[in-house]
Structure 1
Amino acid sequence: MSTVLVSGATGFIAQHIIKQLLEKKYKVIGTVRTDAKGQHLTKNFNNPNFLYVLVSNLATPGGFDEVFQQHPEIEYFLHTASPFTLSDDNVEENLLKPALAGTKEALTSAHAYGKNLKKLVVTSSYAAMGWTYLVDKSIPDDVYIDEASWTDIPWDVAAKSDGLTAYIASKAHAEREVWNFKERETPNFDLAVVNPTYVYGPQAFDSDVTEHMGETSEIINRIIKLQPGETPHRDRGLCIDVRDVAGAHIIAMERDECTDKRLLLFNAAFSEQNFLDLVHKFYPEQFKNVPIGDPKTTQATLTKTFWGDIHNEKTREILKQDWYSHEKSVKDILEQIIRVRGL
């Protein structure tokens, strides 16, 4: 039975990864910040093959050293943990530096103490691939984005920017450190990186359906709380089901053909009007007070040119996954919310 270390085990993506790993009979060690969070996960997973370890601050020098020293049996490391905030407050100290430091510490500890480590898979983001245009707020007509594309926002520019721009830059700088590390240190373990767009889908456990939910699921959560006469925001983008993102991490971990690859994950375009349409399609009675918006604009709100010309054919060919349909993902989110809230 192989052992997998998953950092940031309480995260939305990480919990789905751990569920799938346990279903595949792996032993999983998850890092958490507090005992309370670890105990909560232990109760939810209810599996003797899961245990947690404390790593209170991912950016602390040597933060992962003890984990590898105490668990030399670790063969795979899925590094999903990364700071996420869009706050404009001191973005260099609160976002850029922690993101880069956390990645460096994971790599350094794995290299120094991961005696039996075979592969390290890092969760990056589409943000690291195609968002350079945020600096001047315009998208050139000839933008073409694929697995080889990079966001190029200099550190000094990001440090003086708003929270969104700094977050996007942080993902690019952290991921570049992964590939620079490989070239600089030539570690004995293999590397792969997973780059999802917006991640949505049901929570791993019903207990995680709270008043406020993270990731793209919160957009739907916010929509179903709209009052008559209110209009949706104009959020839109590309998305991928969290269960497929989790599966992609495991495929990247298991398959040699994923080594040294950046895997760009998206399966559909969404907009808030699109979500509204699906809310009323699937559960019109439960959400009859939610406004319908303006359905005739749905197709226009899904125009992908907002994001540039994006391609992930190489990723699809490597992974060969049967991804959840967009409608299935939305329906599963709504079904879970209705069940938990008794709607």
Structure 2
Amino acid sequence: MTESKKQTVYISGVTGFIAQHIAKSLLESKNFKVIGSVRDSAKASSLVSNLNNNPDFEIDVIENIAEPNAFDESFKKYGKSIDFILHTASPFTFNISDVQKDLIDPAKNGSENIFKAAHLYATNLKHFVVTSSFAAIVDRKIAGDPSTIFNEKSWNPNTLEDGLKSPASGYTYSKTVAEQTIWSLAEKLNVGFGVTAVNPVLVLGPQAFDSNATKTLNTSCEFVRKLMQTKFGENIPDGLTGAAVDVRDVAKAHIMPLLDSQKFDKKRLFMTESPFSNQIILDSLNKVTGLQGQIAAGTPHKDDNLGNTFAKQDNTETKKLLGFEFTPVEKSVMDTAVQILKVQKEL
């Protein structure tokens, strides 16, 4: 494909765990140009380097996507050249003093800002994909009930009042209201482009680039790294349990709507593969050369039936739409470990 025919994808929050995989895949295809928004250009320098200073990659600095009209100037500049928008940026801070101000408003306003700017200035836009979350699907009150089923049509029923009760509730509500804002605006503005939401559970898997495995990893992958640092015979608590999905599958789910807008328009892609727990991660890590017999074993396979102890996650419609086999969580964990070990050996 000649350069003049390359389509342009705008990715908000391009330095994120999922977003880097997306940008890498798009550029490797040689069919796309990528404009990526970042809060700080200095933090994007390593990504530019990892992408070998690709001439089809450009950085766009937006310091605070929650500020009123945050994307307007950027989209005035790039608007007509943008074919697709992937809104992966998600304002979130663990140092919460005000749930409304620090969590809910930024999530809602960030989504509203980019979508309105897209409608106004990205006049040739074909498709808009928002990175949402299982948090926008799950009802925590019944999440532990094995007779419950969550699917693509399920919504977190929490109200604003519920969300204000704690940072954890505020986070799940913020993800819900952010996605609902997109769907509401799409209908209200009667947009002429397709819209898709991607709703992953906990995202595991290797970093897009080996160099990223030298520092503290994203929250989900830190679970893997910390268990890699355990000692043989060490007692390991049960810890967090839930469902996981591979980052490479989540990245692919963001890209496929760009290739067939009509097929994915108005769809929610529920990205979930299988249960995870400390024990399930340890079972996988103990199959990795260099770790087997060196780290904690826990009680092998005690969580093999973990999925039967909480609500069922049915993403049959998503898997049918996407048409590819999801990566087993065991492989996600093992690939993460192999990458970390490889980088440690090279240091």
Q: Same fold (TM over 0.5)?
A: yes
Instruction: Identify which range, 32-41 or 245-254, moves more after superposition.
Output: 32-41
Q: Which amino acid aligns with 1:325?
A: P
Q: CA deviation at 1:96?
A: 1.1
Q: Which amino acid aligns with 2:275?
A: A
In the alignment, which residue of structure 1 is the partner of 2:201?
197
Instruction: Identify which range, 51-60 or 185-194, moves more after superposition.
Output: 185-194
**Runs of 4 or more above 3 Å deviation:** 84-89, 137-142, 285-289
In the alignment, which residue of structure 2 is the partner of 1:152?
157
For 1:321 and 1:245, the matched residues in 2 are separated by 12
Query: Does the 8 Å CA contact 1:19/1:45 hold for their aligned counterparts?
Result: yes
For 2:308 and 2:118, the matched residues in 1 are separated by 39
In the alignment, which residue of structure 1 is the partner of 2:138?
130
Residue number among 283, 286, 294 corresponding to 1:277 in the alignment = 283
- Superposed counterparts of 1:75-154, under 5 Å: 75-133=83-141, 139-140=144-145, 142-154=147-159
In the alignment, which residue of structure 2 is the partner of 1:188?
192
In the alignment, which residue of structure 2 is the partner of 1:30?
36
Identity among equivalent pairs (%): 38
In the alignment, which residue of structure 2 is the partner of 1:265?
271
Residue number among 316, 325, 328 corresponding to 2:328 in the alignment = 325
Instruction: Please state if 1:43 is matched with 2:46.
Output: no
- Superposed counterparts of 1:173-252, under 5 Å: 173-227=177-231, 228-252=233-257
Structure 2 SS opposite 1:121: strand
In the alignment, which residue of structure 1 is the partner of 2:72?
65
For 1:21 and 1:132, the matched residues in 2 are separated by 35
Q: CA deviation at 1:87?
A: 4.7
Q: CA deviation at 1:151?
A: 0.2
Structure 2 SS opposite 1:274: helix
Q: CA deviation at 1:138?
A: 6.7
Q: Which amino acid aligns with 1:194?
A: V
Between Structure 1 and Structure 2, how many residues are aligned? 336
| Residues 170 and 311 of structure 1, relative CA distance in 2, 3 Å threshold | same
For 1:138 and 1:266, the matched residues in 2 are separated by 15
Q: CA deviation at 1:121?
A: 0.4
In the alignment, which residue of structure 2 is the partner of 1:2?
7
| Residues 294 and 319 of structure 1, relative CA distance in 2, 3 Å threshold | same
Structure 1 SS opposite 2:86: strand
For 2:136 and 2:184, the matched residues in 1 are separated by 15
Q: Which amino acid aligns with 2:315?
A: N
Q: TM-score, normalised by structure 1?
A: 0.93
Q: Which amino acid aligns with 1:93?
A: K
